Structure 1
Amino acid sequence: MTGRVIKAAFVLAFPLLAACGAKAPESNGSWRQRLADQLPLLGHRNWIIVADQAFPELKSPGITYINSGERLLPVLKEVLAMVKAPGHVTPILYRDKELGFIAEAQSTGIGAFRDSVNALLAGSMVREMLHDSIFAKLDAAAGLFRVVVVKTDEKLPYTSVLMELDCAYWNGEKEAALRQVMQ
């Protein structure tokens, strides 16, 4: 009889014990709200990536994924506005150098996308790097700093835009002057 009671207690308690070790489910809020909740926590050297659908899930523990279910350009436009609004960070933009070399015949719609993203990012400094070089930079950052990936349903190659966040109220020139005074 005692064995049955213990077995029944275990059967009833096991799902609760398993749930304690499980990762908490993601918020049911919209991608906009989920990103808005993250932004006050992000600062200098954190990253936000607006990614095409094929962007891989990386294994680093400091990476948060948010699925927008929307096209990349409208999401990028909103994310840029959201990043700039609080005034504590400013984005350093990166994109794949390969995007400039893909012909329309290779990927239908790539020319229109390229024109649209260039118009959206006009006036911003955008660093173009080879895809693998960007991943190496991101991999190095993800070991120490938080990365938020906003996945889109974009199905065009090399269209992800990466933002390395920098301090909006303290730049490299001010830092260099400070270091000079400290010597």
Structure 2
Amino acid sequence: MIRRLRNIMVLLLILSLVACQPASVQQKGSVNNKDWQQRLEEQLPLLGHRNWILIVDKAYPAPNNSDILMINTGAEMMDVLREMDSIFQVQAHIKPIIYQDAELNYLDEGLVKGIDKYKNEVKTLWSKYTVQDIPHEAIFKKVDEASKLFKVVVLKTESLQPYTSVFIELDCGYWDAKREDSLRSRIR
């Protein structure tokens, strides 16, 4: 009887400990996919010139740098890209400098099913921006260098297509290079 009572108490203790655990245990800096839009919205006022937002495919590696915020969206790539476009339409303090992998230009339906549709959708979505095609490794170097000084937010998607990640360097939304050059001339 005492043994049975003790077993019940141990079971209740275990159940109470399990019930007190968070619904999902996440690595430092990661976010549950249910609240990715809210978490991104919280970050936006903090982000500015020289920060980066990466929208990446499912195989993108988890960074070793704990200062990089990785958010698992659980969403499709185009849904996240459309959300980012909507965000850029209403944010006055930032504007995007968009980079994509140059390798994407060499992919076709023979290599990756559905890639032509993706490329057409992205081209239409980003038509109002300048998109720079840079080799994959060169983009990684730019992001790595920036992450040493500036915040990087990574939005991981469910995309299973290679070289579809989009790398966005944020620029000042209310100032441009021409006016900066004019200011620097005055200072000299």
TM-score bracket, normalised by the shorter chain, equals: 0.7 to 0.9
Partner residue in 1 for 2:67: 62
Whole-angstrom CA distance in 2 between matches of 1:28 and 1:156: 20
Whole-angstrom CA distance in 2 between matches of 1:134 and 1:118: 19
Whole-angstrom CA distance in 2 between matches of 1:134 and 1:177: 29
Deviates more, 1:119-128 or 1:81-90: 81-90
Instruction: Report the secondary structure of 1:144's partner residue.
Output: coil
Q: Does 1:137 align with 2:139?
A: no
TM-score (norm 2): 0.81
Partner residue in 2 for 1:43: 48
- List per-residue Cα deviations over 1:28-85 (Å, max 9, x = no partner): 8611101000000000000001111111112223210111101101111101211341
Partner residue in 1 for 2:13: none
Aligned-pair CA distance for 1:86: 2.4
Identity of aligned pairs, percent?
Answer: 41
- CA RMSD for the aligned pairs? 1.8
Contact persistence 1:95–1:162 (CA under 8 A)? yes
Partner residue in 2 for 1:118: 123
Aligned-pair CA distance for 1:113: 0.9
Structure 2: 5+ residue stretches without partners:
1-26
Contact persistence 2:31–2:70 (CA under 8 A)? no
Structure 1: 5+ residue stretches without partners:
1-21
Counterparts of residues 90-101 of structure 1 (less than 5 Å): 90-101=95-106
Partner residue in 2 for 1:106: 111
Partner residue in 2 for 1:176: 181
Runs of 4+ in 1 over 6 A off after TM superposition: none
TM-score (norm 1): 0.83
- How many residues align? The count is 162
Q: Of residues 87, 93, 110 in structure 2, which corresponds to 1:88?
A: 93
Distance 1:62 1:24, change over 3 A: closer
